[in-house]
Every structure is written in structure tokens, then in C-alpha cells.
Amino acid sequence: MQFKQKFWHSPIARLALILVCTLLVSSCANQPAIHKSALQSSFQSLSLGLFEINSFDVYVHDDVVHVLFAGSEKADSKARVVRYIRSEDSGKHWSKPIEISGSVPAPTDAVRGNDVQLAVNGNNLLAVWQARGEFPGMGPMVSVYSHDDGKTWQTGANPAVNNAGDQAHIDLAADQQGNFHAVWLEDPEENGYQSLRYARSIDGGVQWQPTQRLDEGTCSCCWNTIKVSPAGELNVLYRDMKPRDMALIRSSDQGNSWQSVSMVGDFNWQFEGCPHIGGGLAQTGDEQLNAVVWTGAEANPGLYFLRSDNNGKTWTKPQPLGNHALHGDIAALDNKQILAVWDELGPDGSSIASAQSQDGGSTWASAQSLSKLNVLATHPRIVSTSTGYLTLWTEKQPKQRNQLAIAVFE
């Protein structure tokens, strides 16, 4: 059991599975409406004081953009530090980085797809990541919280019961009442496969209520996505086990009980490995959900957009995005204006692309390239603000280390 988990989390397995995915693909909270015919992007680079950026997360609350990032300070150091920045003008200007890792174990094994995580409500901020355990990529969660707008940070409790477990692929969200919600993958019973877990904090991340098991058998290495709807419902998008399609599960009572809703793209992908690719979810009303999901199904591999107009019960026919797209995300300004982002494999590596829809995803404009030429860019994230969108990703230029790149759409 330990060997199986260790293998699927190892860098060799990740590389092998991404190569398999490459071959498969080659074979085939509401924001105010911004009524513009086309949003234009501009780019910026930040001096974050780190030699390399290995992981990040972005969260928007009350139109303030919060970013958590982790990386190394020196070329010859394997030690990781975690820092926090914020922007109060939709990403145009940023605060000075604040280091927050402190005395808790650093996210030594944090990588894109298993990133450090952040959620915000008012003055309360919560950060959670996976620390190193007995084997690389198999450690427990640690958490830190701030109750003063991120100025100072304290150590919180582990959302999971097992402080020595393998707790990976975490995601966080905060609801309108100020509660924090966490989902992750774990196998505390050591039954041979990962399961989707959930916990809630009602005191700003200091302590956590008892853990719940939402699905007893899931894909073991794909990221999860949790979103809070305008009505306060919790929606979790995750990759199921059999088949390896994306699934939606929901709580309508602040996490007390959960109901399986639907498969988001019924591709019937039968696969025993793990693609290391999750999905993206955006809600533009009490009933409309927008999703991007990836499948390696032999008949129709690729990244797809789907929309539901009945709160996830049924979904539109999947629409393909990009030519060789892998890791995708999505955000919306209203029920018409949607922006999807993804990375694409090409002959020189991977690049970031985006596409806009102004009719709720029925049609899409031609894809726009965001990253520079001849860089290795991957795992974009996108959020909406009162003036447009903010897209972030990590990229590596020749003979340099991974850094954080930002595109502002307005």
C-alpha cells in the first residue's frame, strides 16, 4: 500500500503519466457585470524575493486579491518558505511579501497541482499545505491563520484527524458566515485507495470540526476544487475512480450533509493510473454552473467546457478547448461573460492560452496566447474582480527557475 501511494506521488510517475496524457491528447462569489465587447490583457512581473516559485494559490474576497506562494530563497537550498501578498486594485499594485511559514513545517513537496492553499473572509485568512512525511509527497497537512488581514500569523490545527497521514490535493473556501471549509485526499484506513475528505472550521481556522468522508474511492493524485455558491451551497468538483471522470458533490447545509449531484462530463474514461489533472468551477447564479474538465478517454481526449443551468443536475454537451490543452481553470463575471484558461503542449514545451465567451459558453472567441515564446508555462489559475479577470501561472525561461507570471484582463 505504501509503495503504491509512494509511486503515484513520485516525480517519475508524474512525468510518465504526463507523457501518456500527451500521447493521448496528440492522438485526438458573483462579481458586478462588466459589459465590454472584449477584455484585453496586460502583463506584469513581481519581485517576490525568491530564487524559485514552486507553488501558489490566489483568492478574492471583497474585491481584494490575495496570493500565497512558496519557493526557495537560494540556488543551493532545498528549504522552502511561504509568503503572502495582496492587491486592493485588482492586481495592478501589490503589497510587500510577508513571510508566514514560521515554526510550522514548510511545504517542501509542494508542486503545481498539489499547491499551497489560501482562503479569506474579512480580516481572517487561512493557509494550509502538505508537509513532508515519511515518503516524499506523502505528508500531513499543516495550517496557519491570521485574524488581522495577514499582518501576523499563528499555527492552527490540522483539519484531518491523523497528524501523521498522507493528506494531499487540498482546497479551501470561506462562506458568507465566515466559516472555512477544506477538502483533501487521504487514506487513513489504509484500504488501498484515496478518499475525498472534508472538514469545517467555525473559529477562523484555529480548530476544526470532525472530518467527514465524502467519497470512499477517488483518483489519488488529481486536485480538488471547492466553491461556495451565492446561496451558500458548497460545491466540490473532484475526479472519481471508476470511471476516471469528474464528479460534483454538494452540501446545502454548510457541510453537515452531502449529496452526490452528477458526473461533469460523462466520458466513461476507464483508466487505472492518475493523470494529475483536476478541473475548474465557476458559479454565476443560484442555478448556473460552469466547469472545465480534462479527460484522457481514447475516443475524445482533451480539455472541455460544460455548463449546467439546473445547479449541476445535467450538463451541456462538452465543448473542446485548445488543441493540446491539459490543466484548465475558469472564472465568470456574470451569467454571460466567462473566461477559460489552460496550458497547451507544443513542440517547445507548454504555453498559456485563454478564450472568452460572452454568451454563457455557447460560443467562444479564438484562443489568445498569454505566455511568452520559448518558456515552459503551466497550471494557470484565474479569478474575477470588479474590473475584469486576473490570471496567474508559473513559467520557466531558458536557464532560469520557475517564477510567477500575471496577466490582468480589463
Q: Where are the alpha helices (DSSP H) in 242-299?
A: none
**Averaged over 145-158, what is the pLDDT?**
96
pLDDT of the residue at 10:
45
pLDDT of the residue at 410:
85
In this model, does residue 2 exceed pLDDT 80? no
Q: Which residue has the higher pLDDT, 274 or 150?
A: 150
Strands 246-251 and 289-295 turn out to be unpaired
pLDDT of the residue at 7:
38
**Averaged over 140-162, what is the pLDDT?**
95
How high is the mean pLDDT of the chain?
A: 88
At 205, the pLDDT band (50, 70, 90 cuts) reads very high
Range of the domain at 230: 2-409
* Torsion, Cα of 146, 167, 259, 274 (10° steps): 130
pLDDT of the residue at 143:
96
pLDDT of the residue at 387:
92
Q: Which residues contact 35 (CB under 8 A, 6 or more apart)?
A: none
Check residue 126 and report its DSSP letter: E
pLDDT in tens, 362-409: 999 999 999 988 899 999 999 999 999 999 999 998 888 999 999 999
Q: Which residues contact 212 (CB under 8 A, 6 or more apart)?
A: 197, 198, 199, 255, 258
pLDDT in tens, 22-74: 333 333 333 333 333 456 677 776 778 899 999 999 999 999 999 999 999 98
pLDDT of the residue at 37:
43
In this model, does residue 293 exceed pLDDT 90? yes
Count: domains in the chain: 1
**Averaged over 282-303, what is the pLDDT?**
93
CB 95, CB 85: distance < 8 Å: yes
Inter-CA distances, 13 with 8, 117, 276, 296, 325, Å: 6, 24, 10, 16, 20
User: CATH number for the domain including 391?
Assistant: 2.120.10.10
Q: Is the dihedral angle over the CA atoms 192, 281, 203, 64 positive or is it negative?
A: positive
Helix pair 11-26, 2-9: axis angle to 10 deg: 60
In this model, does residue 168 exceed pLDDT 60? yes
Cell of 159: 483539519
pLDDT of the residue at 129:
97
Q: Residue type for 114, please?
A: N
What is the phi/psi pair of residue 256, to 5°? Answer: -75, -40
pLDDT of the residue at 199:
98
pLDDT of the residue at 163:
86
pLDDT in tens, 105-146: 889 889 999 999 999 999 999 999 999 877 777 899 999 999
pLDDT of the residue at 165:
84
pLDDT of the residue at 38:
58
For 407, counting Cβ atoms within 10 Å of its Cβ (0-12 exposed, 13-18 middle, 19+ buried), the class is: buried
CB 278, CB 113: distance < 8 Å: yes
Compute the distance between CA of residue 246 and CA of residue 56 in angstroms, rounded to an integer.
23
Report pTM: 0.90
Identify the CA nearest to 116 among candidates 394, 369, 330, 309.
Answer: 394
For 374, other C-beta atoms within 10 Å of its C-beta total 10
**Averaged over 252-271, what is the pLDDT?**
96
